[in-house]
Structure formats: C-alpha cells, structure tokens
Amino acid sequence: SSIVLVFEAPKGRRKSFDERWEDGGVQGGWRWGVEKGQRIKYGEAIGWV
C-alpha cells in the first residue's frame, strides 16, 4: 500500500546575488527533509516551510 500526499506550499524566493549562497540559493518556502528510498517512520519530518 502507498500514501500519496499532494499539497500546496509557499515557493522559496530566489536569493539576491550578494546574499549567502546556501540552501540552493532559495530563501524561505518549502524545504524537503527526505531522500528518495529513505526509510521513514510516522511522526518524522518529511519537510517544512
């Protein structure tokens, strides 16, 4: 069995050039906290805004 979550979440804002270039250059917005194939347990974070 599988569970599919489809949800709306804020996109990140592209950082301006002079800001520190981390997190893929995106400020705020949805951030994934998992990898493909990773085992996960109920209650653990999939991602966050």
Partner 1 sequence: LRTALRKTKVVWYPIPVGLGIGFLGFAQLYRVRQREKARQEEQEEDDRAVSAGANGDGGEGGRPKRRKRIRPTGPWQVQVMSTLPLKAVSRIWGRFNELEIPYYLRVPGFKLYSWIFGVNLSEVAENDLHVYPNLASFFYRTLKPGVRPLASNPNALLSPADGRILQYGTIERGEVEQVKGMTYSLDALLGTAPPTSSANGVPPPKMVPVDGESSGRAQTPSEAADPKSAEDSEFANVNGISYTLPNLFSGPESQHGAPAASSMDASTTPKSASEAEVRADLALGDGSRPWYAPAKEKSQTALFYVVVYLAPGDYHRFHSPTSWVVEKRRHFAGELYSVSPYLQRTLPGLFTLNERVVLLGRWRWGFFSFTPVGATNVGSIKINFDSELRTNSLTTDTAADRAAEQAAERGEPYSGYAEATYQQASRILGGHALRRGEEMGGFQLG
Give which of 8, 38, 6, 12 is closest to 25, Cα–Cα: 12
Q: Which residues have a Cβ under 8 Å from the Cβ of 22 and sit 6 or more positions away?
A: none
Smallest distance from partner 1 to CB 24, Å: 13
Residues that bind partner 1 (CB under 8 A): 1-11, 30, 32-49
Smallest distance from partner 1 to CB 18, Å: 23
CB nearer partner 1, residue 9 or residue 19 = 9
CB nearer partner 1, residue 19 or residue 32 = 32
Rounded CA separation 35/22 (Å)? 18
